[in-house]
Amino acid sequence: MTCSACVAHVEKTVCKLEGVKTVNVNLFTNSMTVDFDDAHLDINTIKNSVENAGYKAQLHEVVTNSKSKATLKIDFVQQEQDEIKMSWWVSLTFLIPLLYISMGHLVGLPLPHFLHGNENALVSAFTQFLLTLPIAIFNKKYFVNGFKALFKASPNMDSLIAIGSSAAILYGVFAIFRIGYALGHTDMETVQEFSNDLYFESGATILTLITLGKYLEAKSKSRTSEAITRLMDLAPKTAIVIRNNQEIELPIEEVVVGDIIIIKPGVRVPLDGVVENGNSSVDESAMTGESMPVFKQKGDLVMSASINKSGYFTLKATKVGNDTTLSHIIQLVEEASSSKAPISKLADKISSVFVPVVISIAFLATIIWLLLGYPFDFALSIGIAVLVISCPCALGLATPVAIMVGTGKGAEYGILIKSAESLEMANDIDTVVIDKTGTLTEGKSHVTNIVCNDLMTVNELLQLAASMEKPSEHPLSEAILLEAENRKLKIQPVNNFLSIQGQGIEGEVDGIKYLAGNLKLMTEHKVKLSDFATLLDKFADEGKTPLFIANKNEVIGIIAVADILKLTSHEAIEQFKLLGMEVIMLTGDHAKTASAIQSQLGIFSVIADVLPHDKDKEIARLQALGKTVAMVGDGINDAPALKRSNLGIAIGAGTDVAIESADVVLMRSDLLDAVTTLRLSKAVMINIKQNLFWAFSYNFIGIPLAAGVFYNLLGWKLNPMFAAAAMSFSSVTVVLNSLRLLRFKPTYLQAVRPNAN
C-alpha cells in the first residue's frame, strides 16, 4: 500500500465479505486487523480478496526454524526497507548515465561520437530506452498495482505514478519510431524535433525519486517501531527448567504453566511466575519504572523481563507465551500503533475521491492546452506533472506515523495507550477525576506521628504498641509493626491478650496491663486522656487515625496512622491545573479524611462517601453536565468508572483488570504519568494537524502549478521530474515532522526521575 486511497480500497473490499465485523487497515505499518465470524469466513478468503484488489497479503505469524528451534517473527518493515533499497540503487545506477546522455549536452558535457548529431539520433534514443527499461522493471509494482486498481475503478497513488511514467515512456517509444521513419526519409527537421522531445529521463526520474521517498519513509518506520523492538528484546529466548530432577535449557515457547524455572543472579526473568524457593532483590524497572529493586520471597509474583539482581530462586510458571505481562504490553503497543484515530477518517475520505479527481484534472489540463494550440509534448508534460505531484502520500502518512511515534514514546515512559482513539480522546479531556486510595496515596497505612508523656520514650512507646499489635488482625497493626521493624525494635511477649471488637485490644507486657485502641475503648475503661485530648481534632483534620496507648489509669501515648500521599501526587495535581483541567477527587472515604487530602493537595472539589459501584454514576453525572472526563483509578474496584469515563487511566502494574477496563495503563503507578499521557496526546494531535495542514497546502498549491495555471501570467511550468521530487519531499517532510515527537520530554519528570527518558 502506498496511500490512503489504497487503505480505503482494501477496507472497502474486505468489508464486503460476509461475516466481517470490523476492518482496520494501517498504511504506515502495512497491516490489517479484521474482526470476523469464522462460521461464515476464513483467513484464506480474506487473503484472496485483498490480492484480488491488487495487493499482496500474508498472515502475520510466528515461524519456527526447525534447525535452531528459535522463533523468528517476520519483520515486514525491514523486509520492505530492503526491497525498496535494492530498487533505489538499481534505479540510480541506470538513471545517472541516462541523465548524462539525455541532458549532458545542455551543460556542455561531452558525448561519445556515436550518440551525437541527428545522424545518430536513433542510437541515442534507443540507448535511453534501454537504460530506462531496468528502472521500470525494478519498479514494476507501481505499474502492476496501479493499473490493476485503475481497472477495478479504485485508482490509488500507484495509479497516478503508473499513468504518469507510462505516458512519458510510451511517448518516448513513439518518438523512436518517428525518428527511425524520419531518418529513412531524410527528414532531418522531424529527427531534430523528436530527438529533443524524448521523455525517457522524466519517466525514469519519476520512478527513481519516488522510490527514494519510499526508502526514506521505510527507514523512518524502523525508527518509529524502536519501542516495540526494544520491548521484544527484553524477553529471553530460553529458560532453565527443572524436569525429572534435571536442569535443562529449553526454548521459551516450550515452557508450560507449572514448570519450575531456575532464576540465577543477573539474568532476566523469561516469564511470569510465583517464587517457589529462595529470595532475591528484583529490578522491575523495565516493566513498572520502579528504580529501586523489589525484594521477592516465596509466594511473591515476579513479572517477565524483570532482572534478578543478586539471589538465587526458583519460579513456578503461571503465565507463558502470549499470556505474560510483557507479551500483553507488546500487544497493546502494536494494536495502538496500528489502530486509527478519528481524525484520520478525514484524510481517508478525502483520499478516496482525491485520486479520481486528480486523474480527471490531468486529463482535462492536457486537452485544454492542446485546444489552446500548444504542442503535444507541452500538453503531455502538463498532464504528467499533475499526476505525479498529486500523489497523496503525505496525506496518507499524516496521521499513522504520528500515532505510531506517539504510542511508542508513551511505552518508553511506561504508558500503555490501547488505541489511537484513546490518544486522540486524551487531547479533549477537561475534567480529571482521581481515586484516592492507591492513586493519590500509597494505598497502605504508615505511622505518621508518635506522641508520648514522661513515662516512656518514643521508641519505648512504639515497642509496646508493636508488641500489643503483634497478635492483632487490626488494619493498623501492620503499619505499627512495620515502623517498629524499621527502627529495629524487639517485639516483647504479650500475656492475657484480648481483642475487643470495634474498640481495640488489651494485654499484659512485663506483668503490666495495657490498652491500645480508639477513643471509645478509653472511655469504656474510664482512662484519663490528659493533654492528649487536644490532639484528636488535629489528627482528624489531617485525615489521620489515632491509636491510644494507656495503662489502667491514663493515656501514656498516642500513635497516628494514615495512608500517606505518594511523593509525586502534589506535583501531578499542579500539572493538571497548568493544563487547565478541573481536578476532582472521588473516594469512598469519610468526608473529613477526604477534606484533609483535598487541603494538602489543593484539589478543586471532592466527592466522598461513594461506594465502588456508585462511582460510575458520578462519572455519568459529570458527563451529563457536558464535561469530558478522564478517570484515574487502580483498575480493580474502579473498573466500572474507568469504563464509563471518556478516558479510563488505570494506575497499576499491568493487572488484567486494569488492562481490560482502561484505555490507558500506567505501569509505574505514578499519577505524574497521567499528566504525561495528556501532554503526549496534545503533542501528537498538534503534530497530526501540522502534517495535515502541510499535506493539504502542498496539493492546494502544487496541482494548479503543475496544471500550468500560472504559465501565461508568470511563465511558471513544472517539469515532471521536479514534480516527482516535490512529491517525495512532501512525504519525507511529514515523516520527519512526526519524528520530532521522539524528542518529547516532560520537564517536570526530571525533578522526580533524574534518569527519565
Looking at residues 451-469, what average pLDDT do you find?
Answer: 90
Q: What is the dihedral of CA 626, 631, 636, 640, to 10 degrees?
A: 10
In this model, does residue 583 exceed pLDDT 90? Answer: yes
pLDDT band at 432 (very low <50, low <70, confident <90, very high): very high
Give 381's contacts (C-beta < 8 A, 6+ positions apart): 199, 202, 717, 719, 720
Alpha-helical segments (H) within 470-530: 475-486, 519-524
In this model, does residue 270 exceed pLDDT 80? Answer: yes
Q: What is the mean pLDDT of the chain?
A: 79
Run of H or E including 665: strand 664-666
Looking at residues 36-63, what average pLDDT do you find?
Answer: 74
Looking at residues 531-541, what average pLDDT do you find?
Answer: 81
Sign for the pseudo-dihedral over CA of 219, 223, 225, 229? positive
pLDDT of 713-739, one tens digit each? 777 777 665 665 666 677 677 778 888
pLDDT at 573: 92
> What is the distance, to the nearest Å, from the Cα of residue 266 to the centroid of all Cα atoms in its chain?
29
pLDDT at 295: 79
Query: Greater confidence, 270 or 291?
Result: 270
pLDDT at 64: 36
pLDDT band at 281 (very low <50, low <70, confident <90, very high): confident
Taking the model in full, what pTM does it have? 0.62
Looking at residues 370-382, what average pLDDT do you find?
Answer: 83
Run of H or E including 695: helix 672-706
CA distances from 587 to 624, 637, 707 (A): 20, 11, 64
Are β-strands 313-319 and 294-296 bridged in parallel, bridged antiparallel, or unpaired?
A: unpaired
Angle at 747 between CA 680 and CA 667, to 5 degrees: 55
In this model, does residue 474 exceed pLDDT 90? Answer: no
Give 697's contacts (C-beta < 8 A, 6+ positions apart): none
Question: Is residue 29 within 8 Å of 228, Cβ to Cβ?
Answer: no
pLDDT of 476-489, one tens digit each? 788 899 889 889 99
Q: Could you tell me the fold of the domain covering 442-565?
A: Calcium-transporting ATPase, cytoplasmic domain N (3.40.1110)
Looking at residues 35-60, what average pLDDT do you find?
Answer: 78
Looking at residues 387-416, what average pLDDT do you find?
Answer: 74
Using a pLDDT cut of 90, give the percent of the chain over it: 12
Query: Greater confidence, 360 or 227?
Result: 360
Selecting from 3.40.50.2300, 3.30.420.40, 3.10.20.440, 3.30.70.100, what CATH number does the domain 4-68 have?
3.30.70.100
Rounded Cα gap, residues 132 and 200, in angstroms? 6
pLDDT band at 613 (very low <50, low <70, confident <90, very high): low
Are β-strands 555-565 and 415-417 bridged in parallel, bridged antiparallel, or unpaired?
A: unpaired
pLDDT of 208-229, one tens digit each? 877 776 776 666 555 545 555 6
pLDDT band at 63 (very low <50, low <70, confident <90, very high): very low
User: How is 517-567 classified by DSSP, letter by letter?
Assistant: E-HHHHHHTT-B-GGGGHHHHHHHHTT-EEEEEE-SSBEEEEEEEEEEEPT
State the catalytic residues. 435
Looking at residues 428-452, what average pLDDT do you find?
Answer: 85
Q: Please provide residue 749's backbone torsions phi and psi, each rounded to the nearest 5 degrees.
A: -75, -20
> What is the distance, to the nearest Å, from the Cα of residue 101 to the centroid of all Cα atoms in its chain?
49
Query: Greater confidence, 79 or 684?
Result: 684
* 3-class SS string, 102-113: HHHHHHCCCCCH
pLDDT of 131-180, one tens digit each? 999 999 998 888 887 788 777 777 766 776 777 778 778 878 888 888 88
Amino acid letter for position 470: K
What residues does each domain of the chain span? 4-68, 77-224, 236-324, 343-413+678-757, 414-441+566-677, 442-565
Q: Which CATH architecture has domain 414-441+566-677?
A: 3-Layer(aba) Sandwich (3.40)
pLDDT band at 333 (very low <50, low <70, confident <90, very high): low
> What is the distance, to the nearest Å, from the Cα of residue 333 to the centroid of all Cα atoms in its chain?
5
**Per mean pLDDT, which of 482-491, 612-621, 699-708 is the most reliable?**
482-491
DSSP-derived 3-state class of residue 70: strand
In this model, does residue 336 exceed pLDDT 60? Answer: no
Give 455's contacts (C-beta < 8 A, 6+ positions apart): 556
pLDDT at 626: 92
Selecting from 1.10.3720.10, 3.40.50.920, 2.70.150.10, 3.10.580.10, what CATH number does the domain 236-324 have?
2.70.150.10
Angle at 478 between CA 477 and CA 484, to 5 degrees: 90
User: Could you tell me which residues are beta bridge partners of residue 432?
Assistant: 583, 630
In this model, does residue 444 exceed pLDDT 80? Answer: no
In this model, does residue 438 exceed pLDDT 80? Answer: no
In this model, does residue 675 exceed pLDDT 60? Answer: yes
Looking at residues 373-399, what average pLDDT do you find?
Answer: 74
Are β-strands 260-263 and 313-319 bridged in parallel, bridged antiparallel, or unpaired?
A: antiparallel
